[in-house]
């Protein structure tokens, strides 16, 4: 198992290089001059050239990319913000706790609602509960995050005055953004759990367990659910990455000072070091989540664990 973990961590290196290269290329080709954005339109041509020389913006693309990768790999230096002049790592570490808290809370809500609803829909297939659950799942899957967020603000903040419309410092403020961000994940997890459970409960060993006189609760929650969880765990891992990406819109709507909002503001100001660092940080987090999901596979399925030895 340890050898597998080490091998997977080494495989993450080309992933990080690929992500960094793609982001670096897109920002390099994006129209607009960071020097003009930072210094303003009234800045002299001499001041603009001095800024570009200082930040290495006049260097060839491969020189800029190689310098960035070398500093990041050897010194942990991913640049300094053009706007605030603070190290990018400090900017990210200040904002990232809000994003990871929002994504983790949304993921927890998605699992606590999606898995039980999917199980009940499977064991009561074509019932009223199943039909209603699938309708709500389709609605949640189809509704954009920003639209749902605005509806929740209008209803619970503007009309009912029950919950705050911005911030993320109190548990009341966490409710609306977490619900808005988790809606699509709840729908996907519900549908996947239902599909996986329907496939499992028709298997021969489930009929054998019932024939031996096992209680229905034991058959469903132990034998069936345990074997149906692998595709569900896969979806949960992928959805966590989707939640990290969706947090950008959610943080903008609810004025949460997370990494998503930081990246949006940095893109507007052409603050390239912050954008590159933010995307790289999110990619690292998503890759580590996928590694954790693979390890959960080994716990759920002994056959997978045997392959790691």
Decide if 71 is inside a domain: no
Dihedral angle computed from the Cα positions of residues 73, 75, 78 and 81, in that order, rounded to the nearest 10 degrees: -170
Decide if 301 is inside a domain: yes
Look up the CATH number of the domain holding residue 126.
Answer: 1.10.3720.10
CB atoms within 10 A of CB 292: 12
Q: Which long-range contacts (CB under 8 A, 24 or more apart) does 163-170 make?
A: 165/254, 166/254, 166/255, 166/256, 167/254, 167/255, 167/256, 168/98, 168/101, 168/102, 168/254, 168/256, 168/257, 168/258
Decide if 15 is inside a domain: no
pLDDT confidence of residue 117: 92
Answer yes or no: is pLDDT of 8 > 90.
no
Decide if 77 is inside a domain: no
| Mean local confidence (pLDDT), 202-206 | 80
Beta partners for 87?
80
**pLDDT 10s digits, 152-162:** 999 898 888 88
Domain that holds residue 182: 95-308
Choose among 237, 240, 279: nearest CA to 262: 279
- 9 in Cβ contact with 287 (< 8 Å): no
Q: Name the burial class of residue 170, with classes exposed (0-12), middle (13-18) and buried (19+) by CB atoms within 10 angstroms of its CB.
A: exposed
Decide if 259 is inside a domain: yes
State pTM to two decimals. Answer: 0.80
CA distance 266 to 20: 17
**pLDDT 10s digits, 158-198:** 888 888 888 777 888 888 999 988 888 999 999 999 998 88
* Total domain count, the chain: 1
The two three-digit tokens of residue 282, written as one number: 């999110």
pLDDT confidence of residue 301: 64
Decide if 245 is inside a domain: yes
- 301 in Cβ contact with 230 (< 8 Å): yes
Decide if 285 is inside a domain: yes
Decide if 297 is inside a domain: yes
């Amino acid at each position: 198992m340890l050898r597998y973990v080490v091998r997977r961590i080494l495989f993450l290196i080309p992933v990080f290089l690929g992500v960094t290269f793609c982001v670096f290329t897109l920002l390099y080709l994006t129209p607009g001059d960071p020097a003009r954005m930072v210094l303003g339109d009234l800045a002299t041509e001499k001041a603009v050239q001095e800024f570009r020389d200082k930040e290495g913006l006049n260097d060839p693309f491969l020189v800029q990319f190689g310098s960035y990768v070398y500093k990041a790999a050897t010194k942990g230096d991913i640049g300094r913000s053009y706007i605030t002049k603070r190290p990018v790592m400090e900017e990210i570490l200040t904002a990232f706790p809000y994003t990871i808290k929002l994504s983790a809370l949304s993921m927890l809500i998605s699992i606590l609602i999606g898995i039980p609803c999917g199980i009940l829909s499977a064991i009561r297939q074509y019932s009223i509960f199943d039909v209603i659950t699938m309708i709500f799942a389709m609605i949640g899957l189809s509704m954009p995050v920003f639209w749902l967020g605005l509806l929740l603000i209008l209803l619970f903040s503007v009309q009912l005055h029950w919950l705050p419309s911005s911030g993320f410092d109190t548990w009341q403020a966490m409710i609306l953004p977490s619900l808005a961000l988790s809606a699509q994940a709840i729908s996907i997890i519900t549908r996947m759990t239902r599909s996986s459970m329907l496939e499992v409960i028709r298997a021969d060993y489930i009929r054998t367990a019932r024939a031996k006189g096992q209680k229905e609760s034991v058959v469903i929650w132990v034998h069936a659910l345990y074997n149906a969880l692998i595709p569900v765990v896969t979806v949960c891992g992928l959805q966590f990455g989707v939640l990290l990406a969706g947090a950008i819109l959610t943080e903008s709507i609810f004025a949460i000072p997370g990494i998503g909002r930081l990246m949006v503001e940095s893109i507007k100001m052409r603050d390239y070091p912050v954008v590159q660092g933010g995307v790289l940080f999110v990619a690292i987090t998503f890759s580590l989540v996928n590694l954790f999901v693979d390890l959960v596979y080994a716990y759920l399925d002994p056959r997978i664990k045997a392959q790691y030895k």
